[in-house]
Amino acid sequence: MYVETKNQGGGLTDGPFNLAVDCGAPGWSYAVVGYTANLVRATHGTTLTNLGTGRYDVTFPTSINNCAYEATVGDPGHNLVFNPNGVYTGSGPGARTVYIETKNIGGGLSAGIPFHLAVICPSAANVKIAVVGASGLPARGSALTSSFRASTGQYTLATSQPLPACAVIATRGSVNTSVPFDPATVEITAGPAPNTTGIQVRQLLFFGGNLASESFHAAMIC
């Protein structure tokens, strides 16, 4: 796998990152969508509906309504995605569907942005998930996993196991069928104890880059 980290101006910038690869193990589902709103590869039985500019429904063969929806901009093959953009998730109209929006760095819906989507459920082995509202209260998640908001845009997730050897990933997304209207970045920070991780949510630089309280989906993979 090849990875580039960029600033919002599009320049390559050194930065730490956590990476999860989803190939459809039990408790996981996935979809990769290309530049022309085409479903390149996915969990068997998955379908894609293009709802309009930068808006999609991805429907899986089984219910995923208690899961976390993690997504990132990414080429479906071996090429680069030159322009930095964002992808945001939420619940679709049914229990098997994820709603997706792709947006440019100015916050506008944009077509032609390829993305990778991982749906991670509480039944997945060695994984804890949390879908957290802007207030810091969890809307759903794994057993013995909790969350709270320490201050504006600063959240802490706590689990029943140590996390130093784990990967933590997170996506700005709504906790229900509401559109994730406000685009933001979601970054992983240190937690106050070994069984915790921090989550920091910020506005895009176009809107000032300030800390902002917004809902998100997170997965802690060990």
Digit-coded pLDDT (tens) for 161-203 = 999 999 999 999 999 999 999 999 999 999 999 999 999 999 9
- In this prediction, residues 11-26 reach a mean pLDDT of 95
The pLDDT of residue 124 is 98
The pLDDT of residue 92 is 98
Residue the block writes with tokens 């309280």: 213
The pLDDT of residue 130 is 98
Are residues 72 and 153 part of one domain? no
Are residues 149 and 108 part of one domain? no
**Is residue 16 included in any domain, yes or no?**
no
Are residues 108 and 141 part of one domain? no
Report angle CA 37, 39, 43 to the nearest 5 degrees: 150
Show the tokens assigned to 46: 């998955």
Kindly report the number of other CB atoms within 10 A of residue 202's CB atom: 18
Are residues 105 and 138 part of one domain? no
The pLDDT of residue 36 is 97
**Is residue 107 included in any domain, yes or no?**
yes
AA identity, residue 64: I
Decide which of 75, 102, 120 is a domain's last residue: 120
Q: What is the pairing mode between strands 47-52 and 55-59?
A: antiparallel
**Is residue 39 included in any domain, yes or no?**
yes
**Is residue 1 included in any domain, yes or no?**
no
The pLDDT of residue 107 is 94
**Is residue 108 included in any domain, yes or no?**
yes
Are residues 94 and 76 part of one domain? yes
Are residues 135 and 49 part of one domain? no
**Is residue 13 included in any domain, yes or no?**
no
User: In whole angstroms, what separates CA 119 from the centre of its chain?
Assistant: 9
The pLDDT of residue 170 is 98
Decide which of 57, 91, 120 is a domain's last residue: 120
Are residues 150 and 92 part of one domain? no
Q: Provide the number of structural domains found in the chain.
A: 2
Answer for the pair 148, 156: CB distance below 8 angstroms, yes or no. yes
Of 187, 90, 159, the closest CA to residue 131 belongs to 90
Where residue 71 falls among pLDDT bands split at 50, 70, 90?
very high
Are residues 196 and 142 part of one domain? yes
Q: What is the mean pLDDT of the chain?
A: 97
Q: Is 80 helix (H, G, I), strand (E, B) or coil?
A: coil
User: In whole angstroms, what separates CA 66 from the centre of its chain?
Assistant: 15
Decide which of 120, 147, 178 is a domain's last residue: 120
Where residue 159 falls among pLDDT bands split at 50, 70, 90?
very high
The pLDDT of residue 148 is 98
The pLDDT of residue 20 is 96
User: In whole angstroms, what separates CA 149 from the centre of its chain?
Assistant: 19
**Is residue 195 included in any domain, yes or no?**
yes
pTM, full prediction:
0.97
Range(s) of the domain holding residue 158 = 127-221
Cα first-last separation, the chain: 19
Are residues 200 and 161 part of one domain? yes
- In this prediction, residues 127-145 reach a mean pLDDT of 98
**Is residue 82 included in any domain, yes or no?**
yes
Are residues 131 and 110 part of one domain? no
Are residues 136 and 55 part of one domain? no
Q: What is the pairing mode between strands 196-203 and 115-120?
A: unpaired
The pLDDT of residue 25 is 96
